[in-house]
Structure 1
Amino acid sequence: MTFATVMVSLALSQPNEARLQVAGDLAARFEAGVIGVAAAEFTPPLYFTTGEQAQDLIEQGEAALQTRLGELEQHFRSVVGGRAAPLSWRAALDFPVRYVLAQARAADILVTGSIPPGVSDAFAVASPKDLVMQAGRPLLVVPDNATWLDLSTVLVAWKETPEARRALVDALPLLAKATDVVVTEILENTSEYDACEARLDDVVAWLGRHQIVASARVEQPGQGRNVAAKLDAVAADVSAGLVVAGAYGHSRFRELVLGGVTEHLVTRTERCVLLSH
Protein backbone atom coordinates (compact mmCIF):
# COMPACT_ATOMS: atom_id res chain seq x y z
CA MET A 1 0.00 0.00 0.00
CA THR A 2 1.81 3.08 -1.21
CA PHE A 3 1.77 6.17 -3.42
CA ALA A 4 4.53 6.11 -6.01
CA THR A 5 3.74 9.46 -7.64
CA VAL A 6 2.10 12.52 -6.09
CA MET A 7 0.77 15.33 -8.29
CA VAL A 8 0.23 18.81 -6.88
CA SER A 9 -1.90 21.38 -8.69
CA LEU A 10 -0.77 24.99 -8.22
CA ALA A 11 -2.93 28.10 -8.52
CA LEU A 12 -1.86 31.35 -10.17
CA SER A 13 -3.56 33.76 -7.78
CA GLN A 14 -4.11 31.75 -4.59
CA PRO A 15 -1.73 30.60 -1.84
CA ASN A 16 0.25 27.47 -2.74
CA GLU A 17 2.49 27.03 0.29
CA ALA A 18 0.20 24.65 2.21
CA ARG A 19 -0.44 22.28 -0.69
CA LEU A 20 3.26 22.22 -1.54
CA GLN A 21 4.22 21.42 2.04
CA VAL A 22 1.71 18.56 2.16
CA ALA A 23 2.83 17.23 -1.23
CA GLY A 24 6.41 17.24 0.01
CA ASP A 25 5.32 15.51 3.21
CA LEU A 26 3.59 12.78 1.19
CA ALA A 27 6.69 12.33 -0.95
CA ALA A 28 8.90 11.93 2.11
CA ARG A 29 6.53 9.47 3.83
CA PHE A 30 6.14 7.24 0.78
CA GLU A 31 9.50 7.85 -0.95
CA ALA A 32 7.44 9.06 -3.91
CA GLY A 33 8.09 11.27 -6.88
CA VAL A 34 6.21 14.54 -7.23
CA ILE A 35 4.85 16.20 -10.35
CA GLY A 36 3.97 19.88 -10.13
CA VAL A 37 1.31 21.07 -12.55
CA ALA A 38 -0.18 24.45 -13.43
CA ALA A 39 -2.00 26.04 -16.33
CA ALA A 40 -3.81 29.23 -17.27
CA GLU A 41 -5.58 30.60 -20.30
CA PHE A 42 -5.39 34.23 -21.37
CA THR A 43 -8.58 36.03 -20.40
CA PRO A 44 -9.96 38.04 -23.31
CA PRO A 45 -10.71 41.70 -22.52
CA LEU A 46 -14.24 42.88 -21.95
CA TYR A 47 -13.92 45.43 -24.70
CA PHE A 48 -13.63 44.56 -28.39
CA THR A 49 -10.45 45.05 -30.42
CA THR A 50 -9.18 43.67 -33.71
CA GLY A 51 -6.13 43.39 -35.91
CA GLU A 52 -2.60 44.08 -34.72
CA GLN A 53 -3.79 45.65 -31.49
CA ALA A 54 -5.65 42.47 -30.59
CA GLN A 55 -2.65 40.30 -31.46
CA ASP A 56 -0.32 42.47 -29.37
CA LEU A 57 -2.72 42.26 -26.44
CA ILE A 58 -2.88 38.48 -26.66
CA GLU A 59 0.90 38.13 -26.92
CA GLN A 60 1.45 40.40 -23.92
CA GLY A 61 -1.12 38.53 -21.89
CA GLU A 62 0.32 35.13 -22.73
CA ALA A 63 3.86 36.33 -21.99
CA ALA A 64 2.71 37.48 -18.54
CA LEU A 65 1.14 34.08 -17.92
CA GLN A 66 4.33 32.29 -18.98
CA THR A 67 6.28 34.45 -16.54
CA ARG A 68 3.87 33.59 -13.75
CA LEU A 69 4.05 29.87 -14.57
CA GLY A 70 7.83 30.11 -14.39
CA GLU A 71 7.56 31.68 -10.92
CA LEU A 72 5.28 28.84 -9.80
CA GLU A 73 7.83 26.29 -11.01
CA GLN A 74 10.56 27.96 -8.97
CA HIS A 75 8.33 27.97 -5.88
CA PHE A 76 7.45 24.31 -6.43
CA ARG A 77 11.09 23.26 -6.73
CA SER A 78 12.19 25.34 -3.73
CA VAL A 79 9.57 23.81 -1.41
CA VAL A 80 9.38 20.20 -2.63
CA GLY A 81 12.90 19.74 -3.97
CA GLY A 82 15.01 17.49 -1.78
CA ARG A 83 11.97 15.59 -0.48
CA ALA A 84 10.94 13.87 -3.72
CA ALA A 85 12.68 11.78 -6.33
CA PRO A 86 12.02 12.16 -9.15
CA LEU A 87 10.76 15.74 -9.30
CA SER A 88 9.15 17.12 -12.46
CA TRP A 89 7.11 20.09 -13.66
CA ARG A 90 4.31 20.39 -16.24
CA ALA A 91 2.71 23.65 -17.32
CA ALA A 92 0.79 25.00 -20.29
CA LEU A 93 -1.34 27.82 -21.62
CA ASP A 94 -4.62 25.96 -21.34
CA PHE A 95 -7.77 25.88 -19.26
CA PRO A 96 -6.53 24.72 -15.85
CA VAL A 97 -9.16 22.05 -15.17
CA ARG A 98 -8.77 20.49 -18.61
CA TYR A 99 -4.98 20.45 -18.35
CA VAL A 100 -4.79 19.08 -14.81
CA LEU A 101 -7.35 16.37 -15.55
CA ALA A 102 -5.28 15.21 -18.52
CA GLN A 103 -2.08 15.08 -16.44
CA ALA A 104 -3.73 13.16 -13.58
CA ARG A 105 -3.15 9.94 -15.50
CA ALA A 106 0.49 10.12 -14.38
CA ALA A 107 -0.22 10.17 -10.62
CA ASP A 108 -1.59 8.04 -7.79
CA ILE A 109 -3.01 10.98 -5.86
CA LEU A 110 -3.75 14.60 -6.72
CA VAL A 111 -3.10 17.35 -4.16
CA THR A 112 -4.82 20.73 -4.42
CA GLY A 113 -6.00 23.59 -2.23
CA SER A 114 -9.44 24.40 -0.95
CA ILE A 115 -11.36 27.20 -2.61
CA PRO A 116 -13.60 29.82 -1.00
CA PRO A 117 -17.33 29.58 -1.74
CA GLY A 118 -18.32 31.45 -4.87
CA VAL A 119 -14.82 31.60 -6.36
CA SER A 120 -14.83 30.52 -9.99
CA ASP A 121 -12.37 31.49 -12.73
CA ALA A 122 -12.10 28.83 -15.39
CA PHE A 123 -9.17 30.71 -16.99
CA ALA A 124 -6.94 30.63 -13.89
CA VAL A 125 -8.20 28.13 -11.32
CA ALA A 126 -8.36 24.32 -11.40
CA SER A 127 -11.20 24.18 -8.92
CA PRO A 128 -11.30 21.14 -6.62
CA LYS A 129 -15.06 21.15 -7.18
CA ASP A 130 -14.37 20.15 -10.79
CA LEU A 131 -11.32 17.96 -10.20
CA VAL A 132 -12.91 15.73 -7.57
CA MET A 133 -15.75 14.63 -9.84
CA GLN A 134 -13.66 14.00 -12.95
CA ALA A 135 -10.05 13.15 -12.07
CA GLY A 136 -10.47 9.40 -11.50
CA ARG A 137 -7.84 9.74 -8.77
CA PRO A 138 -8.16 10.45 -5.05
CA LEU A 139 -8.08 14.19 -4.42
CA LEU A 140 -6.38 15.54 -1.29
CA VAL A 141 -7.79 19.00 -0.52
CA VAL A 142 -5.46 21.07 1.68
CA PRO A 143 -6.61 24.15 3.63
CA ASP A 144 -4.35 27.20 3.50
CA ASN A 145 -3.44 26.88 7.19
CA ALA A 146 -1.94 23.40 6.88
CA THR A 147 1.81 22.92 7.31
CA TRP A 148 1.95 19.12 7.11
CA LEU A 149 -0.31 16.07 6.74
CA ASP A 150 -1.38 15.16 10.27
CA LEU A 151 -2.12 11.41 10.40
CA SER A 152 -2.32 11.08 14.16
CA THR A 153 -6.09 10.56 13.83
CA VAL A 154 -7.94 9.92 10.56
CA LEU A 155 -11.73 10.14 10.42
CA VAL A 156 -13.47 8.03 7.78
CA ALA A 157 -16.91 9.42 6.94
CA TRP A 158 -18.82 6.28 6.01
CA LYS A 159 -21.96 6.10 3.89
CA GLU A 160 -23.37 3.02 2.21
CA THR A 161 -22.40 4.14 -1.31
CA PRO A 162 -19.89 3.16 -4.01
CA GLU A 163 -18.12 6.52 -3.54
CA ALA A 164 -17.44 5.83 0.14
CA ARG A 165 -16.12 2.35 -0.66
CA ARG A 166 -13.84 3.81 -3.33
CA ALA A 167 -12.56 6.48 -0.93
CA LEU A 168 -11.73 3.86 1.71
CA VAL A 169 -9.69 1.82 -0.76
CA ASP A 170 -7.92 4.93 -2.09
CA ALA A 171 -7.03 5.98 1.46
CA LEU A 172 -5.44 2.67 2.49
CA PRO A 173 -1.83 3.93 2.17
CA LEU A 174 -2.64 6.86 4.47
CA LEU A 175 -4.68 4.78 6.91
CA ALA A 176 -1.79 2.33 7.22
CA LYS A 177 0.40 5.17 8.52
CA ALA A 178 -2.23 6.64 10.86
CA THR A 179 -1.98 6.32 14.63
CA ASP A 180 -5.77 6.14 15.12
CA VAL A 181 -8.55 5.50 12.59
CA VAL A 182 -12.17 6.26 13.43
CA VAL A 183 -14.97 5.18 11.10
CA THR A 184 -18.18 7.11 11.60
CA GLU A 185 -21.61 7.15 10.02
CA ILE A 186 -24.10 9.93 10.68
CA LEU A 187 -27.56 8.45 10.85
CA GLU A 188 -30.27 9.86 8.66
CA ASN A 189 -32.88 7.83 10.51
CA THR A 190 -32.47 6.82 14.16
CA SER A 191 -34.38 3.60 13.52
CA GLU A 192 -31.39 2.33 11.53
CA TYR A 193 -29.00 2.38 14.48
CA ASP A 194 -28.54 -1.42 14.59
CA ALA A 195 -28.06 -1.65 10.82
CA CYS A 196 -25.52 1.17 10.99
CA GLU A 197 -23.57 -0.63 13.72
CA ALA A 198 -23.46 -3.75 11.57
CA ARG A 199 -22.18 -1.77 8.57
CA LEU A 200 -19.42 -0.12 10.57
CA ASP A 201 -18.43 -3.44 12.13
CA ASP A 202 -17.92 -4.80 8.61
CA VAL A 203 -15.80 -1.79 7.62
CA VAL A 204 -13.66 -2.03 10.76
CA ALA A 205 -13.18 -5.77 10.22
CA TRP A 206 -12.22 -5.19 6.57
CA LEU A 207 -9.63 -2.64 7.63
CA GLY A 208 -8.34 -5.10 10.22
CA ARG A 209 -7.65 -7.63 7.47
CA HIS A 210 -5.40 -4.95 5.97
CA GLN A 211 -3.57 -4.64 9.31
CA ILE A 212 -5.26 -1.32 10.09
CA VAL A 213 -6.78 -1.06 13.56
CA ALA A 214 -9.91 1.11 13.56
CA SER A 215 -12.83 1.92 15.82
CA ALA A 216 -16.48 2.57 14.94
CA ARG A 217 -18.62 5.52 15.96
CA VAL A 218 -22.34 5.86 15.19
CA GLU A 219 -23.56 9.45 15.27
CA GLN A 220 -27.11 10.64 15.73
CA PRO A 221 -28.39 13.33 13.31
CA GLY A 222 -27.33 16.82 14.30
CA GLN A 223 -29.67 19.68 15.02
CA GLY A 224 -31.41 20.62 11.79
CA ARG A 225 -29.91 17.47 10.24
CA ASN A 226 -26.91 19.46 9.01
CA VAL A 227 -24.65 16.54 8.15
CA ALA A 228 -21.67 18.74 7.19
CA ALA A 229 -21.74 20.56 10.52
CA LYS A 230 -22.11 17.28 12.40
CA LEU A 231 -19.14 15.80 10.55
CA ASP A 232 -17.06 18.86 11.45
CA ALA A 233 -18.04 18.44 15.09
CA VAL A 234 -17.02 14.77 15.12
CA ALA A 235 -13.71 15.59 13.40
CA ALA A 236 -13.00 18.24 16.01
CA ASP A 237 -13.98 15.90 18.85
CA VAL A 238 -11.51 13.20 17.78
CA SER A 239 -8.87 15.79 16.75
CA ALA A 240 -8.77 14.44 13.21
CA GLY A 241 -6.00 15.74 10.99
CA LEU A 242 -7.51 14.09 7.91
CA VAL A 243 -11.06 13.28 6.84
CA VAL A 244 -11.71 10.55 4.24
CA ALA A 245 -15.02 10.72 2.36
CA GLY A 246 -16.78 9.83 -0.85
CA ALA A 247 -17.60 12.72 -3.18
CA TYR A 248 -21.14 13.06 -4.44
CA GLY A 249 -22.73 14.99 -7.29
CA HIS A 250 -26.37 15.80 -7.96
CA SER A 251 -26.32 16.56 -11.70
CA ARG A 252 -27.46 13.83 -14.08
CA PHE A 253 -25.85 15.47 -17.10
CA ARG A 254 -22.62 16.96 -15.72
CA GLU A 255 -21.15 15.92 -12.40
CA LEU A 256 -20.31 19.46 -11.36
CA VAL A 257 -23.15 20.15 -8.93
CA LEU A 258 -21.85 18.82 -5.64
CA GLY A 259 -23.81 17.47 -2.72
CA GLY A 260 -23.92 19.57 0.44
CA VAL A 261 -21.25 17.66 2.38
CA THR A 262 -18.86 17.47 -0.59
CA GLU A 263 -19.33 21.18 -1.30
CA HIS A 264 -18.55 21.92 2.34
CA LEU A 265 -15.42 19.76 2.35
CA VAL A 266 -13.85 21.48 -0.66
CA THR A 267 -14.78 25.06 0.29
CA ARG A 268 -14.86 25.30 4.08
CA THR A 269 -12.60 22.55 5.37
CA GLU A 270 -10.37 23.30 8.36
CA ARG A 271 -8.34 20.10 7.92
CA CYS A 272 -7.05 18.01 5.03
CA VAL A 273 -9.70 15.97 3.22
CA LEU A 274 -9.23 12.96 0.94
CA LEU A 275 -12.13 12.66 -1.51
CA SER A 276 -12.86 10.00 -4.13
CA HIS A 277 -15.61 9.68 -6.68
Structure 2
Amino acid sequence: MTYATVMVSLALDQPNHARLEVAGELAERFEAAIVGIAAARFAPPLYFTDGAEAQRLIDQEENSIKRQLADLEAQFRAATRTRGGQAEWRSAMDFPERFVVAQARCADIVVSGGQSPTFSDAFSLVSPRDLVMQIGRPLLVVPDRTNWLNLRSVLVAWKDTPEARRAVAGALPMLRKAKDVVVVEIPEAGDNHSAVMTHVSDVAAWLARHGITATANVPEARNESAAAQLESVAGEVGAGLIVAGAYGHSRFRELILGGVTEYLVTQTERCVLLSH
Protein backbone atom coordinates (compact mmCIF):
# COMPACT_ATOMS: atom_id res chain seq x y z
CA MET A 1 0.00 0.00 0.00
CA THR A 2 1.13 3.52 -0.78
CA TYR A 3 -0.38 6.96 -1.30
CA ALA A 4 -0.87 7.63 -5.01
CA THR A 5 -2.99 10.76 -4.57
CA VAL A 6 -2.81 13.30 -1.74
CA MET A 7 -5.66 15.79 -1.37
CA VAL A 8 -5.23 19.02 0.59
CA SER A 9 -8.29 20.94 1.78
CA LEU A 10 -7.79 24.72 1.87
CA ALA A 11 -9.99 27.19 3.73
CA LEU A 12 -11.11 30.77 3.28
CA ASP A 13 -9.91 33.21 5.95
CA GLN A 14 -7.58 30.66 7.58
CA PRO A 15 -3.82 30.03 7.38
CA ASN A 16 -3.09 27.43 4.71
CA HIS A 17 0.72 27.48 4.59
CA ALA A 18 1.28 24.59 7.01
CA ARG A 19 -1.13 22.18 5.38
CA LEU A 20 0.23 23.05 1.91
CA GLU A 21 3.80 22.39 3.03
CA VAL A 22 2.97 19.05 4.65
CA ALA A 23 0.76 17.91 1.76
CA GLY A 24 3.46 18.82 -0.74
CA GLU A 25 6.11 16.99 1.26
CA LEU A 26 3.85 13.95 1.57
CA ALA A 27 3.26 13.90 -2.19
CA GLU A 28 7.02 14.12 -2.81
CA ARG A 29 7.85 11.31 -0.39
CA PHE A 30 5.42 8.94 -2.09
CA GLU A 31 5.77 10.31 -5.64
CA ALA A 32 2.04 10.99 -5.53
CA ALA A 33 -0.23 13.35 -7.38
CA ILE A 34 -1.54 16.24 -5.28
CA VAL A 35 -5.05 17.68 -5.50
CA GLY A 36 -5.92 21.04 -3.94
CA ILE A 37 -9.54 21.58 -3.03
CA ALA A 38 -11.70 24.38 -1.63
CA ALA A 39 -15.35 25.38 -1.62
CA ALA A 40 -17.60 28.03 -0.14
CA ARG A 41 -20.98 29.51 -0.83
CA PHE A 42 -22.91 32.66 -0.11
CA ALA A 43 -24.44 32.73 3.36
CA PRO A 44 -27.87 34.43 3.22
CA PRO A 45 -28.08 37.45 5.54
CA LEU A 46 -30.23 37.44 8.65
CA TYR A 47 -32.51 40.08 7.18
CA PHE A 48 -34.74 40.23 4.14
CA THR A 49 -34.68 42.32 1.00
CA ASP A 50 -36.06 41.76 -2.49
CA GLY A 51 -35.87 42.80 -6.09
CA ALA A 52 -32.80 44.42 -7.62
CA GLU A 53 -31.19 45.10 -4.23
CA ALA A 54 -31.37 41.42 -3.28
CA GLN A 55 -29.80 40.37 -6.58
CA ARG A 56 -27.08 43.00 -6.23
CA LEU A 57 -26.19 41.65 -2.78
CA ILE A 58 -26.12 38.05 -4.02
CA ASP A 59 -23.92 38.94 -7.01
CA GLN A 60 -21.55 40.95 -4.84
CA GLU A 61 -21.08 38.17 -2.29
CA GLU A 62 -20.73 35.43 -4.89
CA ASN A 63 -18.12 37.43 -6.78
CA SER A 64 -16.21 37.89 -3.53
CA ILE A 65 -16.22 34.13 -2.92
CA LYS A 66 -15.02 33.47 -6.48
CA ARG A 67 -12.11 35.88 -5.94
CA GLN A 68 -11.19 34.17 -2.67
CA LEU A 69 -11.30 30.73 -4.30
CA ALA A 70 -9.08 32.06 -7.09
CA ASP A 71 -6.64 33.34 -4.45
CA LEU A 72 -6.58 29.89 -2.84
CA GLU A 73 -5.84 28.30 -6.21
CA ALA A 74 -2.95 30.75 -6.66
CA GLN A 75 -1.60 29.74 -3.22
CA PHE A 76 -1.86 26.07 -4.16
CA ARG A 77 -0.16 26.56 -7.53
CA ALA A 78 2.68 28.53 -5.94
CA ALA A 79 3.20 25.91 -3.23
CA THR A 80 3.29 22.97 -5.66
CA ARG A 81 5.18 24.61 -8.54
CA THR A 82 8.56 23.20 -7.49
CA ARG A 83 7.31 19.83 -6.21
CA GLY A 84 7.67 18.18 -9.60
CA GLY A 85 4.61 15.90 -9.48
CA GLN A 86 1.14 16.13 -10.98
CA ALA A 87 -0.95 18.91 -9.41
CA GLU A 88 -4.68 19.47 -9.87
CA TRP A 89 -7.06 22.09 -8.49
CA ARG A 90 -10.77 21.60 -7.70
CA SER A 91 -13.14 24.25 -6.33
CA ALA A 92 -16.84 25.01 -6.28
CA MET A 93 -19.50 27.33 -4.99
CA ASP A 94 -20.80 24.73 -2.58
CA PHE A 95 -20.89 23.78 1.07
CA PRO A 96 -17.23 22.91 1.76
CA GLU A 97 -17.96 19.78 3.77
CA ARG A 98 -20.22 18.32 1.09
CA PHE A 99 -17.79 19.15 -1.71
CA VAL A 100 -14.64 17.85 -0.02
CA VAL A 101 -16.32 14.64 1.15
CA ALA A 102 -17.56 13.94 -2.40
CA GLN A 103 -14.24 14.74 -4.10
CA ALA A 104 -12.25 12.62 -1.64
CA ARG A 105 -13.22 9.62 -3.74
CA CYS A 106 -10.13 10.38 -5.88
CA ALA A 107 -7.66 10.50 -2.96
CA ASP A 108 -5.81 8.04 -0.74
CA ILE A 109 -5.34 10.53 2.10
CA VAL A 110 -6.74 13.99 2.83
CA VAL A 111 -4.76 16.76 4.53
CA SER A 112 -6.63 19.39 6.54
CA GLY A 113 -5.84 22.26 8.86
CA GLY A 114 -5.87 22.01 12.61
CA GLN A 115 -7.81 24.08 15.07
CA SER A 116 -11.26 25.30 14.11
CA PRO A 117 -14.29 26.47 16.08
CA THR A 118 -16.31 23.72 17.74
CA PHE A 119 -19.33 24.83 15.73
CA SER A 120 -17.99 26.30 12.48
CA ASP A 121 -19.60 28.20 9.61
CA ALA A 122 -20.86 25.49 7.24
CA PHE A 123 -20.89 28.00 4.34
CA SER A 124 -17.14 28.67 4.36
CA LEU A 125 -15.28 26.21 6.57
CA VAL A 126 -15.09 22.45 6.99
CA SER A 127 -13.86 21.30 10.37
CA PRO A 128 -11.62 18.23 10.76
CA ARG A 129 -14.21 17.04 13.27
CA ASP A 130 -16.79 16.87 10.50
CA LEU A 131 -14.46 15.61 7.77
CA VAL A 132 -13.20 12.62 9.69
CA MET A 133 -16.75 11.40 10.34
CA GLN A 134 -17.70 11.21 6.66
CA ILE A 135 -14.66 11.22 4.44
CA GLY A 136 -13.90 7.49 4.37
CA ARG A 137 -10.18 8.19 3.99
CA PRO A 138 -7.34 8.76 6.48
CA LEU A 139 -7.35 12.42 7.52
CA LEU A 140 -4.02 14.10 8.31
CA VAL A 141 -4.65 17.11 10.56
CA VAL A 142 -1.85 19.68 10.41
CA PRO A 143 -1.52 22.34 13.13
CA ASP A 144 -1.01 25.87 11.79
CA ARG A 145 2.44 26.14 13.42
CA THR A 146 3.76 23.00 11.72
CA ASN A 147 5.89 23.31 8.59
CA TRP A 148 7.08 19.73 8.02
CA LEU A 149 5.98 16.16 8.52
CA ASN A 150 8.19 14.78 11.29
CA LEU A 151 8.29 10.99 10.97
CA ARG A 152 11.33 10.38 13.15
CA SER A 153 9.03 9.15 15.93
CA VAL A 154 5.41 8.10 15.44
CA LEU A 155 3.00 7.28 18.25
CA VAL A 156 0.12 4.91 17.56
CA ALA A 157 -2.62 5.65 20.11
CA TRP A 158 -4.24 2.25 20.24
CA LYS A 159 -7.72 1.36 21.45
CA ASP A 160 -9.26 -1.94 20.45
CA THR A 161 -11.90 -0.32 18.25
CA PRO A 162 -12.71 -0.42 14.51
CA GLU A 163 -11.69 3.25 14.26
CA ALA A 164 -8.18 2.57 15.58
CA ARG A 165 -7.75 -0.44 13.30
CA ARG A 166 -8.69 1.63 10.26
CA ALA A 167 -6.36 4.44 11.34
CA VAL A 168 -3.32 2.16 11.68
CA ALA A 169 -4.06 0.48 8.35
CA GLY A 170 -4.35 3.90 6.69
CA ALA A 171 -1.05 5.00 8.24
CA LEU A 172 1.02 2.03 7.03
CA PRO A 173 2.85 3.95 4.27
CA MET A 174 4.00 6.59 6.77
CA LEU A 175 4.83 4.05 9.45
CA ARG A 176 7.16 2.31 6.99
CA LYS A 177 9.10 5.57 6.63
CA ALA A 178 9.25 6.29 10.37
CA LYS A 179 12.45 5.80 12.34
CA ASP A 180 10.73 4.85 15.61
CA VAL A 181 7.15 3.62 16.12
CA VAL A 182 5.56 3.21 19.55
CA VAL A 183 2.17 1.58 20.05
CA VAL A 184 0.56 2.76 23.28
CA GLU A 185 -2.75 2.04 24.94
CA ILE A 186 -3.91 4.11 27.89
CA PRO A 187 -5.58 1.69 30.32
CA GLU A 188 -8.97 2.58 31.72
CA ALA A 189 -9.99 2.11 35.33
CA GLY A 190 -10.29 -1.58 36.09
CA ASP A 191 -8.32 -2.74 33.05
CA ASN A 192 -5.90 -5.62 33.54
CA HIS A 193 -2.42 -4.35 32.66
CA SER A 194 -1.31 -7.71 31.20
CA ALA A 195 -4.40 -7.93 29.00
CA VAL A 196 -3.84 -4.42 27.69
CA MET A 197 -0.20 -5.23 26.99
CA THR A 198 -1.39 -8.19 24.92
CA HIS A 199 -3.43 -5.77 22.76
CA VAL A 200 -0.49 -3.51 21.89
CA SER A 201 1.91 -6.45 21.52
CA ASP A 202 -0.45 -7.95 18.93
CA VAL A 203 -0.47 -4.65 17.03
CA ALA A 204 3.34 -4.41 17.18
CA ALA A 205 3.62 -7.98 15.88
CA TRP A 206 1.17 -7.20 13.05
CA LEU A 207 3.24 -4.15 12.11
CA ALA A 208 6.40 -6.30 12.14
CA ARG A 209 4.82 -8.56 9.52
CA HIS A 210 4.47 -5.41 7.40
CA GLY A 211 8.17 -4.66 7.81
CA ILE A 212 7.68 -2.06 10.57
CA THR A 213 9.55 -2.35 13.86
CA ALA A 214 7.38 -1.05 16.71
CA THR A 215 7.62 -0.95 20.49
CA ALA A 216 4.61 -1.80 22.68
CA ASN A 217 3.94 0.49 25.64
CA VAL A 218 1.28 0.49 28.34
CA PRO A 219 1.85 3.16 31.01
CA GLU A 220 0.84 2.55 34.58
CA ALA A 221 -2.65 3.85 35.33
CA ARG A 222 -2.65 7.41 36.68
CA ASN A 223 -5.31 9.73 38.02
CA GLU A 224 -5.34 11.76 34.80
CA SER A 225 -7.48 11.90 31.70
CA ALA A 226 -6.55 9.63 28.80
CA ALA A 227 -5.72 12.73 26.75
CA ALA A 228 -3.30 14.02 29.41
CA GLN A 229 -1.60 10.62 29.66
CA LEU A 230 -1.33 10.39 25.88
CA GLU A 231 0.26 13.85 25.76
CA SER A 232 2.77 12.74 28.38
CA VAL A 233 3.77 9.66 26.38
CA ALA A 234 3.95 11.67 23.13
CA GLY A 235 6.33 14.09 24.82
CA GLU A 236 8.48 11.29 26.23
CA VAL A 237 8.97 9.63 22.83
CA GLY A 238 9.25 12.92 20.92
CA ALA A 239 6.37 12.02 18.62
CA GLY A 240 6.04 14.14 15.49
CA LEU A 241 2.92 12.26 14.38
CA ILE A 242 0.11 10.59 16.32
CA VAL A 243 -2.05 7.93 14.66
CA ALA A 244 -5.46 7.34 16.25
CA GLY A 245 -9.02 6.28 15.69
CA ALA A 246 -11.50 9.15 15.87
CA TYR A 247 -14.57 9.24 18.10
CA GLY A 248 -14.50 5.68 19.38
CA HIS A 249 -16.90 7.03 22.01
CA SER A 250 -19.95 9.13 21.18
CA ARG A 251 -18.99 12.31 19.33
CA PHE A 252 -21.51 14.28 21.43
CA ARG A 253 -19.89 12.99 24.61
CA GLU A 254 -16.43 14.05 23.42
CA LEU A 255 -17.61 17.50 22.31
CA ILE A 256 -19.29 18.19 25.63
CA LEU A 257 -17.06 16.36 28.10
CA GLY A 258 -13.81 16.35 26.16
CA GLY A 259 -11.90 13.30 25.04
CA VAL A 260 -8.89 12.05 23.14
CA THR A 261 -10.20 13.01 19.68
CA GLU A 262 -11.07 16.52 20.82
CA TYR A 263 -7.60 16.85 22.31
CA LEU A 264 -5.97 15.62 19.11
CA VAL A 265 -7.79 18.07 16.82
CA THR A 266 -7.05 21.05 19.07
CA GLN A 267 -3.44 20.42 20.15
CA THR A 268 -0.92 22.51 18.22
CA GLU A 269 2.34 20.56 18.45
CA ARG A 270 1.99 17.49 16.24
CA CYS A 271 0.39 16.25 13.06
CA VAL A 272 -2.35 13.69 13.68
CA LEU A 273 -3.63 10.97 11.38
CA LEU A 274 -7.24 10.13 12.19
CA SER A 275 -9.76 7.65 10.84
CA HIS A 276 -13.33 6.88 11.79
Q: TM-score, normalised by structure 1?
A: 0.94
Amino acid at match of 1:226: S
Q: Tell me, yes or no, if the aligned pair for 1:133 and 1:249 is still in contact at 8 Å.
A: no
Residue 189 of structure 1: aligned partner: 189
Cα 1:138–1:132, aligned 2, differ >3 Å: closer, same or farther? same
Residue 272 of structure 1: aligned partner: 271
Residue 21 of structure 2: aligned partner: 21
Any idea what SS the aligned residue of 2:185 has? Answer: strand
Residue 229 of structure 1: aligned partner: 228
Residue 166 of structure 1: aligned partner: 166
| Distance in 2 of aligned mates of 1:91 and 1:44 | 20
Q: Tell me, yes or no, if the aligned pair for 1:34 and 1:84 is still in contact at 8 Å.
A: no
Residue 261 of structure 2: aligned partner: 262
Q: In the TM superposition, what is the alpha-carbon distance from 1:267 to its structure 2 partner?
A: 2.0
Q: Tell me, yes or no, if the aligned pair for 1:155 and 1:183 is still in contact at 8 Å.
A: yes
For these two proteins, the number of residue pairs brought into alignment is 275
1:238-257 equivalence runs, <5 A: 238-248=237-247, 250-251=249-250
Structure 1's unaligned 5+ residue stretches are: none
Q: Tell me, yes or no, if the aligned pair for 1:27 and 1:33 is still in contact at 8 Å.
A: yes
Q: In the TM superposition, what is the alpha-carbon distance from 1:268 to its structure 2 partner?
A: 2.5
Q: Tell me, yes or no, if the aligned pair for 1:250 and 1:257 is still in contact at 8 Å.
A: no
Residue 80 of structure 1: aligned partner: 80
Q: In the TM superposition, what is the alpha-carbon distance from 1:263 to its structure 2 partner?
A: 1.4
Per mean C-alpha deviation after superposition, the further-off stretch among 198-207 and 30-39 is 198-207
Q: In the TM superposition, what is the alpha-carbon distance from 1:132 to its structure 2 partner?
A: 0.5
Residue 65 of structure 1: aligned partner: 65
CA offsets per residue over residues 45-85 of structure 1, 9 Å max, x none? Answer: 22211111101100110000000000000001111223152
| Distance in 1 of aligned mates of 2:253 and 2:230 | 23
Cα 1:40–1:156, aligned 2, differ >3 Å: closer, same or farther? same
Q: In the TM superposition, what is the alpha-carbon distance from 1:257 to its structure 2 partner?
A: 5.7
Runs of 4+ in 1 over 4 A off after TM superposition: 249-252, 254-259
Q: In the TM superposition, what is the alpha-carbon distance from 1:251 to its structure 2 partner?
A: 5.0
Q: In the TM superposition, what is the alpha-carbon distance from 1:264 to its structure 2 partner?
A: 1.5
Any idea what SS the aligned residue of 1:171 has? Answer: helix
Residue 32 of structure 2: aligned partner: 32
Is 2:120 the counterpart of 1:144?
Answer: no
Any idea what SS the aligned residue of 1:219 has? Answer: coil
Amino acid at match of 2:29: R
Q: In the TM superposition, what is the alpha-carbon distance from 1:198 to its structure 2 partner?
A: 1.1
Q: In the TM superposition, what is the alpha-carbon distance from 1:41 to its structure 2 partner?
A: 1.0
| Distance in 1 of aligned mates of 2:25 and 2:176 | 16
Any idea what SS the aligned residue of 1:151 has? Answer: coil
| Distance in 1 of aligned mates of 2:27 and 2:253 | 30
| Distance in 1 of aligned mates of 2:189 and 2:127 | 33
Structure 2's unaligned 5+ residue stretches are: none
Indicate the percent of aligned positions where both proteins have the same amino acid.
Answer: 60
| Distance in 2 of aligned mates of 1:226 and 1:161 | 19
Amino acid at match of 2:48: F
Cα 1:221–1:52, aligned 2, differ >3 Å: closer, same or farther? farther
Q: TM-score, normalised by structure 2?
A: 0.95
Amino acid at match of 1:70: A
Cα 1:170–1:72, aligned 2, differ >3 Å: closer, same or farther? same
Q: Tell me, yes or no, if the aligned pair for 1:97 and 1:130 is still in contact at 8 Å.
A: yes
Amino acid at match of 1:58: I
